[in-house]
Amino acid sequence: MRALRKSKAAPGFTLERIAVPRVGPSDVLIRVGTVGLCGTDLHIYSWDHWAQRRVKPPLTIGHEFMGHVAAVGSAVHAVEVGDRVSAEGHIACGICRLCRTGQAHICEHVQIIGVDTDGAFADYIRMPEANVWKLDPSIPDSWAAVFDPLGNAVHTVMAADVSVKSVAITGVGSIGLMAIPVARAAGAATVFAIDVNPQKLALAARVGADATFLATQPDLVEDIVARTGGDGVDVLLEMSGSGSAIDSGLAMVRNGGVAALLGIPSDDIEINLAERIIFKGLTVLGINGRRMFETWYQTQSLVTNGRVDLGPIITHELPFEDFDRAFGLMKSGEAAKIVLTLNEANA
């Protein structure tokens, strides 16, 4: 089968032919239909420091996907051949305290597909039955392919509890953009979007932000505080990983508010804990992955009830072969979310 691989410790990917994975008794083999491109894939493509420390070639990359069940192990009973599915890409151990208490998304023994183990940019992928998610037929392939990042947005929004609250989102890359309609659908009273990129802000306004702000605006914090009656926003959704965005983001939250952190800073950051968190009585939430499977049910509900429209956010749909062009579009900042098609449904 075809597979997009990190063959050796160097920049770039190669399209190779490798064997179809074998399935164990509790595994499901999925013929991959459509995949989504993530910033993580670009890190591995570029072979930056994070990638060099974490990834051990050779490895098939990719973790955002949908497809159809092609085979099932002998003990599988929740899905059958032909089912249209996506899957949770964090493979948890299933036996630790966190896994046994509904917190598998922060299992310490997690293996992430496309990072720690063979991923989804291939004709077939093997997944444990427990990770597979059956798709509602009303969901388009391109949307189903990006349930992973959409789930990140949903997890962040739902953890922060935005119902009838004012919300600021720092960083509107593809997940930050998705968080806008998700927050609106989840009941946010107002959504402010902040970024360094004016094009992303234009897209943010298009998908439902009530107001948008350049991160470089000198009186950004004062402006946003003024728009909330002088209190500050109830909720910050931090999706940039930038130290300065985190600092100004925390500054614009009202006393007693909530800051949910999803963006990953590449280095240590300096923070004035006393002024930004302690005296304010803030609640700061570290967010990782997607709750299994509460986030998936919520994501499905938002999409099937028509509350969230990914149309404007999926800016490019390309054939799998154009992966190099796709990574170029990502790097340029021109694209929001790109999906690639490997196999048609009835192929």
Per rule CB under 8 A, is residue 138 in the interface with a copy of itself?
A: no
Per rule CB under 8 A, is residue 87 in the interface with a copy of itself?
A: no
Binding window for a copy of itself (CB under 8 A); candidates: 10-18, 39-47, 61-69, 159-167: 159-167
Cβ proximity to a copy of itself, 122 vs 183, nearer residue: 183
* Residue 60 appears among annotated catalytic residues: no
Cβ proximity to a copy of itself, 304 vs 343, nearer residue: 304
Closest among 302, 305, 301, 166 to 226, alpha carbons compared = 166
Min dist. Cβ of residue 43 to a copy of itself (A): 13
- How close are the terminal C-alpha atoms of the chain, in Å? 14
Cβ proximity to a copy of itself, 282 vs 310, nearer residue: 282
Binding window for a copy of itself (CB under 8 A); candidates: 27-35, 139-147, 182-190, 327-335: 182-190
Residue entry with tokens 């932000």: 209
Out of 43, 90, 105, 155, the active site residue is 43
- In the set 16, 284, 318, 343, which binds a copy of itself (CB under 8 A)? 284
Contact criterion met (CB below 8 Å) for 235 and 190 = no
Contact criterion met (CB below 8 Å) for 154 and 182 = yes
Cβ proximity to a copy of itself, 122 vs 186, nearer residue: 186
Per rule CB under 8 A, is residue 261 in the interface with a copy of itself?
A: yes
Cβ proximity to a copy of itself, 212 vs 298, nearer residue: 298
Element (H, E) at 328: helix 323-332
Per rule CB under 8 A, is residue 246 in the interface with a copy of itself?
A: yes
Q: Which residues contact 188 (CB under 8 A, 6 or more apart)?
A: 162, 163, 164, 165, 166, 167, 235
Contact criterion met (CB below 8 Å) for 196 and 215 = yes
- In the set 78, 202, 214, 226, which binds a copy of itself (CB under 8 A)? 78
Q: Which residues contact 219 (CB under 8 A, 6 or more apart)?
A: none
Closest among 74, 49, 79, 56 to 6, alpha carbons compared = 56
Three-class HEC string of 283-302:
EEEECCCCCCCHHHHHHHHH
Out of 40, 60, 170, 212, the active site residue is 40
* Residue 43 appears among annotated catalytic residues: yes
114: left (phi > 0), else alpha (psi -120 to 50), else beta? left
Min dist. Cβ of residue 88 to a copy of itself (A): 10
Identity (one letter) of the amino acid at 210? D
Backbone angles phi, psi at 75, to 5 degrees: -100, 5
Per rule CB under 8 A, is residue 161 in the interface with a copy of itself?
A: yes
Active site residues: 40, 43
Q: Which residues bind a copy of itself (CB under 8 A)?
A: 25-26, 74-75, 77-78, 95, 97-98, 100-103, 105-108, 154, 158, 161-164, 166, 185-190, 229, 231, 246, 254-256, 261-262, 264-265, 268-274, 277-288, 291-294, 297-298, 301-302, 305, 307
